Structures are given as structure tokens and as C-alpha cells.
Chains A and B, each alone.
Chain A
Amino acid sequence: MEKQVGFMKALKCRECAREYPLAATHVCEFDFGPLEVVYDYARIGSSITREKIMSRPQTMWRYRELLPIANEPTVGFQVGYTPLVKATRLAKKLGLRELWIKNDTVNYPTLSFKDRVVSVALSRARELGFTTVACASTGNLANSVAANAASAGLKSYVFIPADLEQGKVINSLVYGANVIGIRGHYDEVNRLCAEIAGKFGWAFVNVNMRPYYAEGSKSMGFEIMEQLGWQIPQHTVVCMASGSLLTKIHKSYQEFSKLGLVKDASYKVHGAQATGCSPISTAQKAGLDFFKPVKPDTIAKSLAIGTPADGFYALKVMKETGAASDDVTDDEIREGIRLLAECEGIFAETAGGVTVGVAKKLVASGKIPANESVVLCITGHGLKTLDAVVGHVGRPREIRPSLREFEALLDAEAKSPIVS
């Protein structure tokens, strides 16, 4: 038994606190509350030190005592420890003294933070004896499950809506995953996938493996603190789809603090959404503890969840930490993408544009004071959402192969600079 438990204690219902064994299960049988992994912090405290962490390879697994696997990881050895970039030029633009970008656009292997959660879910799935893994996804998650399963030699099934854009489908097919397109509207696809997950004995990463899967997000927070010199940033801005990432960043700060790895300090984890799908930020701004479901209509497809499963908990975290949230329009999202690209050379997907756009608003409204430290969590690469910016980033100027023409172009532009 010890072999399969590691530093974990049990799964625990977030609503009624009932405990369950550390199996592939995800909801409480009594109130259907989500289950979460609880750890033996006393044992972790006597095992983990800053020095021990720093002596390990630079991947997310250097914090393995605080990740829900019992043994050494078997999937995604290279995932994580992405750069924390000091964003001096963007800071100036936004009117901040100290700004950092946690750059998961270069997370390995599929250029999004999903590799963190997937590698944890698949490593745990292996420990529990699964040989087939699955997910239901419209993008980043599908790509990550397909790639990580391929490299680990696991069989994978990826369920997608049948009308998904070809580019996104290819990004899963190429890894040899069994990609199944389901015809139907969102809710039908969602329900069928839940049924499939319940019926077949597979490790469905975001269903029966969800308690383990979600914990992988904490690694982003652990890395931020270590890369800042073992400190909690005063402000962290996180985009919200289900709201899970925000709650896990908060959990990571609390865990490091509890273990004495960082000094206890006050911090705020702010949430960012797109105006076309903002159930959580709308509720937060209205001071409500609950949100009203919405029908998404935004270019930020990776955040388009109208009924966020962790929305209630994200609202709670923002309230507890005194944080704020806001939302941005499609145009503001594109502007956010451009700002980040032009100032820092980082091309983010639409979700990143949401985070930058909301950070700008929170600074302008004084909710993030100009002289405090801020980290923006950028979760996926811009190459994944090229469609969203096509036609909005200018066009190349064309000339014939003539030096004279090039010089004429430079002269003309010097006289009347192009403002795109």
C-alpha cells in the first residue's frame, strides 16, 4: 500500500470533508462535491528542503513530494520549470515597477501549461495500473494527452466535437492517438464523454483522474516562488476557464508557506476572463459567492467554459486573498497579445491576451498598486490560436528585388511612419 501512497494521505471531499481511498475516483458519493488530494504535511516537512529541491533537475518534478504520485514520475520527465521572465518593457507600458511573466508558452512538450496536469495524471494512472488514457477536449488538453501518452507508450483516446478546426485535430492525430469526433452540441458531447468515462475502465484524465490531474497546476506556483528567490509575489494574475488554475496557484503558495519554504506573506491571486465568457469575474465584481452560467462567445476559446466547475472555489480564493478580477473584449485580448509580443518577444495564445489585458485594467483602476510585485501566468503558445490574430497584426510591405525600391520604402516610412 505504501508504494501507492507516497506523501498523500487520502482523497477528501471539498464540501463535506469525507475521506476516500487514493483510487481513480473524483466525486463524493454523498454530495457529489469534488475530491481533492490531501497530503501528510508533517512527513513532507521532514523530507523537503530548499537545498534538496535545488539539487534536483530543473523540471516540475523537483517538488515531487507535493505532487500526487507515490513513486518516481514515469510520464513527462521534462515538463515544467519554464522561464520566469523579468518584463521590464511591459512593466513600463503598464505602469508597474516590477513585473514578471511565467512563460508556459514554452512548456514541454506541447507548449501549454496542460503538460503539467497531464504528466501528473498519466504518471498516477500508471501507478494505479491503467494502460489506456483518455480525455475530452477542444484543444490544448487533447494535444498534451496525445503527446505525453505517445512518449510513455500508453494507448490514448481523445474525444473532440466533430466540427473542431483541422489544425487542432492534427495536433492530436499526429501522435497516433485515437481521435473520436462526436457530432452534437456542447452539452451532448459533454454528457456522452462523462458516460464513456464512467463506462470504460480507462484513466480519463479530467474525469476519474481529476483530483490528481488538477494538482499538477500547483507546480506553476512552486516554480514562481523559487524563481523569485523563495518569495510569494504580492500579485499574481491568472486566466480562468474552470477556475481550477487560480485555486491551485493559491494552494501552492499556502503549501510552501506552511512548510516554511517561503516567508508567510500576504498575496492576491487575481482572475482574468474574456467578456464573452465571464461568469466568474462578473460574480466577483458584483460581490457574489455564486455565478450565473453563460453561453460563451469569445475568441479566447481555451477559456470558453460557461459553467465553470471550480468557479465557486475561485470566487472564494479571490475573496479570501482580497483579490480582484476583470474581463476584456476580443479587441482588448488581441491588444494584450500584441503588447506581450512587442514588449517581451513572447507570443501567447488568446488566454495570454486575456491575462495581459486584465492586468492592464487592474493596474489602471489601482487594484494592483504600481509599486508592488506582479506575476502574470501565461499559459499557452500563440501558434495555437493564429486564427484569432490573422488580419490584426499588419501586413508585410512588398517590393521588387531592387535596392532602390527598398531605400524609397525606408524614406517614405521615415516621412510618414506606419502605425499599425
Chain B
Amino acid sequence: MAAKTKKTTSTKPAKDITQKTRLWLMYPAKQITHPVIWELSQKFKVITNVRQASVTDEIGVVCLELVGPRSEITSAIKWLEKKGVKVEPVEINVLES
């Protein structure tokens, strides 16, 4: 029987390079009056760029471009989701039936 060799699995995170991510944000009604994007830019090291927006008293839809290290973008997305904002890629339904 072959001797068991210790598996070396790399747990190193992917390189934290600067990237550009384009997202559709959908605000629930209770977040519409809050300066969510300003707050995001204060909390995370990302450049925010609003490319499209449509806000009514019922729903807010914003197309946002984020530029920054991947880890910061990932944290920013998590923070947005915690606030109840739906975050989708600009392509929307990538995962199809």
C-alpha cells in the first residue's frame, strides 16, 4: 500500500488585485431616504460611480460601479446585503434554469 502523503492544499486567497465590479442595487423602501452609497464609500476603500439610477417612493434601483481591491468590494457587498439591499451583477440572471 502506498504511504499516505500529506496533501498540500493551498488556502492562499486569490490575489487582492484592484478590480472593477458593476452591480445593480435594489433598495427596499425603508432604505430609500438613507445615503447608502456615501456611507459605503466612507466605510470601504472603493471608488463608487453611479452609472444609472431610478428611485421612486417604493423602490430604488441604482447601477453602481465599484473600483478597488477585491476584498474591499466583497466586504462592501456583504455590508449592502446586511442593510437589505439586493445586489446583483449587471448581467442580472447569470444563473439560469
**Residue total for B at the interface (Cβ-Cβ under 8 A):** 23
Is A254 an interface residue, CB under 8 A from the partner?
Answer: no
Looking at B88, B94, B96, the one whose CB has the most chain A CB atoms below 10 A away is B96
Contacts of A26 in B (CB 8 A): 91
- Is A191 a contact partner of B87 (Cβ separation < 8 A)? yes
- Nearest chain A residue, comparing its CB with the CB of B74: A191
Contacts of B23 in A (CB 8 A): 191
- Is B91 a contact partner of A194 (Cβ separation < 8 A)? yes
- Bound-state CA distance A383–B65 (Å) is 42
- Nearest chain A residue, comparing its CB with the CB of B14: A199
Is B51 an interface residue, CB under 8 A from the partner?
Answer: yes
- Nearest chain B residue, comparing its CB with the CB of A185: B81
Known: A187-B87, A293-B86. Is A308-B52 also a contact (CB below 8 A)?
no
Is B89 an interface residue, CB under 8 A from the partner?
Answer: yes
- Report B9-65 residues with CB < 8 Å from chain A CB: 21-23, 26, 51-52, 58-59, 63
- Is B22 a contact partner of A136 (Cβ separation < 8 A)? no
- Is B51 a contact partner of A31 (Cβ separation < 8 A)? yes
Given A138-B97, A193-B95, A307-B92, 13 extra CB contacts under 8 A: A32-B22, A32-B90, A136-B95, A161-B95, A186-B95, A190-B88, A191-B87, A197-B94, A210-B91, A242-B93, A292-B58, A293-B86, A309-B91
Contacts of B96 in A (CB 8 A): 135-138, 141, 206, 241-242, 305
Q: Choose from A27, A241, A302 the contact partner of B91 (Cβ within 8 Å).
A: A27
Residue interface bits A220-243, CB-to-B below 8 A is 1, else 0: 000000000000000000000110
- Bound-state CA distance A186–B86 (Å) is 11
User: Majority SS of interface residues in chain B?
Assistant: strand
Contacts of A187 in B (CB 8 A): 81, 86-88
The distance from the CB of B5 to the nearest CB of chain A, in whole angstroms, is 25
The distance from the CB of A374 to the nearest CB of chain B, in whole angstroms, is 25
- Bound-state CA distance A210–B89 (Å) is 14
- Is B26 a contact partner of A194 (Cβ separation < 8 A)? no
- Nearest chain A residue, comparing its CB with the CB of B92: A309
The distance from the CB of B54 to the nearest CB of chain A, in whole angstroms, is 8
- Nearest chain B residue, comparing its CB with the CB of A189: B95
- Is A307 a contact partner of B93 (Cβ separation < 8 A)? yes
- Report A134-183 residues with CB < 8 Å from chain B CB: 135-141, 159, 161
Provide a sorted-by-A list of 27 A–B residue pairs whose CB atoms are within 8 angstroms: A26-B91, A31-B51, A135-B96, A136-B94, A136-B95, A136-B96, A159-B95, A187-B81, A187-B87, A187-B88, A190-B94, A191-B23, A191-B89, A193-B95, A194-B91, A195-B21, A195-B89, A206-B96, A210-B91, A302-B97, A303-B97, A304-B97, A305-B96, A307-B86, A308-B93, A309-B91, A309-B93
- Bound-state CA distance A187–B92 (Å) is 10
The distance from the CB of A277 to the nearest CB of chain B, in whole angstroms, is 11
Known: A293-B86, A307-B86. Is A32-B63 also a contact (CB below 8 A)?
yes
Task: Please give the residue numbers on chain B whose beta carbons come within 8 Å of chain A beta carbons, in ascending order.
Answer: 21-23, 26, 51-52, 58-59, 63, 77, 81, 86-97
User: Majority SS of interface residues in chain A?
Assistant: mixed
The distance from the CB of A111 to the nearest CB of chain B, in whole angstroms, is 14
- Bound-state CA distance A40–B45 (Å) is 47
Is A301 an interface residue, CB under 8 A from the partner?
Answer: yes
Contacts of A308 in B (CB 8 A): 92-93
Contacts of A32 in B (CB 8 A): 22, 51-52, 63, 90
- Nearest chain B residue, comparing its CB with the CB of A161: B95
Contacts of B89 in A (CB 8 A): 190-191, 193-195
Is A207 an interface residue, CB under 8 A from the partner?
Answer: yes
Contacts of A136 in B (CB 8 A): 94-96
Known: A32-B51, A32-B63, A292-B59. Is A27-B97 also a contact (CB below 8 A)?
no
Closest 9 CB pairs of A and B: A194-B89, A302-B97, A309-B92, A193-B94, A136-B95, A190-B95, A194-B94, A309-B93, A141-B96
Contacts of A138 in B (CB 8 A): 95-97
Contacts of A135 in B (CB 8 A): 96
Looking at A137, A210, A292, A307, the one whose CB has the most chain B CB atoms below 10 A away is A307
